[in-house]
């Protein structure tokens, strides 16, 4: 199925320092944490390439509670997890060198049973030769209404294409619906329907880490995204996951990046 383009625009961001956070070390088994969601009173995450298809449950204080292995799934390069009221969606979309032809979003229910696959490809991609500065990698996935939104990690332009497609099993050929001028490589996404709020994380080639919000995301429409950027001043970290708590509070996680432990951060936006 070809998912047709609606519009393609470039959006700018505003800069702010109104951000504070506290840090919690996570167990070393989560050294490649790459997605973040909520299950009852726990946070859940997964590692990216190199790990088994496992969902890890941990408390907001960083204590690992249990692991659930999803035997029917494969972890080629899991990069994000998103959720609605009935299902989770795991983005096996990591594509560092632009060589993959098997990009998948797995659908699982709230009991962590496999319920299907969403197979995707990029309509603009005509070659799959190795390219470390390709534009066909994506690490941010969010549920927005009846659709999924995938945010690209574009190493060519440091912008992020937004791809929109149904959250139902099928094969989809993707065309960008909008373009965010993030000036970074986007690593995670989340959307809150209650707050009508989008959150993203990213970094640039200088190692600077960023957190983004877009209020009234659906109300304004993709033509008028009001993207605000905040510096996350942490060292030896690559932020890989985000979860919205409310309009002013957020969870994010980072890989270990050689400092000994992956980390959980609770961000707070100051009024």
Residue 5 lies in a domain: no
SS3 (DSSP) at 256 = coil
Residue 3 lies in a domain: no
Quickly tell me which residue has 């699982």 as its tokens.
Answer: 108
Vertex 63, ends 61 and 64: CA angle to 5°?
Answer: 140
Residue 86 lies in a domain: yes
pLDDT in tens, 137-186: 999 999 999 999 999 999 999 999 999 999 999 999 999 999 999 999 99
pLDDT in tens, 60-97: 999 999 999 999 999 999 999 999 999 999 999 999 99
Q: How far apart are CA 82 and CA 224, in angstroms?
A: 24
Residue 104 lies in a domain: yes
- State whether the Cα torsion 136-142-145-146 is positive or negative: positive
Please give the tally of structural domains in the chain.
Answer: 1
pLDDT band at 258 (very low <50, low <70, confident <90, very high): low
pLDDT in tens, 203-247: 999 989 999 999 999 999 999 999 999 998 887 788 999 999 999
Q: How far apart are CA 221 and CA 231, in angstroms?
A: 25
Pairing of strands 185-192, 197-203: antiparallel
- Which residue segment(s) compose the domain that 157 sits in? 10-269
Residue 251 lies in a domain: yes
Quickly tell me which residue has 């997605």 as its tokens.
Answer: 35
pLDDT at 43: 98
pLDDT at 205: 92
Alpha-carbon dihedral 88, 140, 33, 95, rounded to 10 degrees: 110
Residue 194 lies in a domain: yes
Residue 2 lies in a domain: no
Query: Any idea what the CATH number is for the domain that residue 129 is in?
Result: 2.120.10
pLDDT at 54: 98
pLDDT in tens, 10-60: 444 444 458 888 999 999 999 999 999 999 999 999 999 889 999 999 999
pLDDT at 1: 58
Residue 1 lies in a domain: no
| Structure-block tokens of residue 48 | 């990216």
Output the DSSP codes for 80-95: EEEE-SSEEEEEE---
């Amino acid at each position: 199925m070809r998912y047709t383009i609606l519009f393609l625009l470039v959006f700018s961001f505003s800069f702010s320092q109104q951000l504070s956070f506290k840090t919690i070390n996570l167990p070393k088994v989560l050294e490649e944490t790459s997605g973040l969601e909520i299950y009852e009173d726990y946070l859940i995450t997964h590692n990216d390439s190199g790990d088994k298809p496992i969902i890890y449950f941990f408390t907001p204080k960083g204590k690992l509670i249990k692991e659930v292995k999803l035997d029917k799934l494969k972890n080629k390069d899991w990069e994000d997890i998103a959720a609605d009221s009935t299902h989770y969606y795991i983005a096996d979309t990591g594509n560092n060198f632009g060589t993959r032809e098997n990009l998948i979003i797995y659908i699982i229910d709230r009991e962590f049973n496999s319920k299907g696959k969403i197979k995707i490809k990029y309509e603009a991609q005509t070659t799959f030769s190795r390219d470390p500065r390709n534009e066909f990698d994506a690490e941010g996935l969010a549920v927005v209404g009846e659709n999924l939104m995938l945010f690209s990690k574009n190493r060519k332009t440091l912008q992020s294409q937004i791809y929109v497609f149904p959250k139902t099993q099928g094969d989809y050929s993707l065309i960008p619906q909008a373009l965010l001028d993030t000036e970074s490589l986007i690593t995670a996404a989340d959307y809150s329907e209650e707050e009508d709020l989008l959150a993203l994380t990213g970094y640039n080639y200088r190692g600077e880490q960023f957190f983004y919000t877009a209020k009234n995301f659906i109300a304004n429409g993709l033509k008028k995204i009001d993207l605000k950027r905040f510096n996350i001043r942490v060292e030896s970290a690559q932020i890989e996951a985000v979860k919205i708590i409310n309009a002013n509070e957020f969870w994010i996680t980072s890989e270990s990046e050689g400092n000994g432990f992956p980390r959980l951060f609770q961000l707070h936006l100051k009024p």
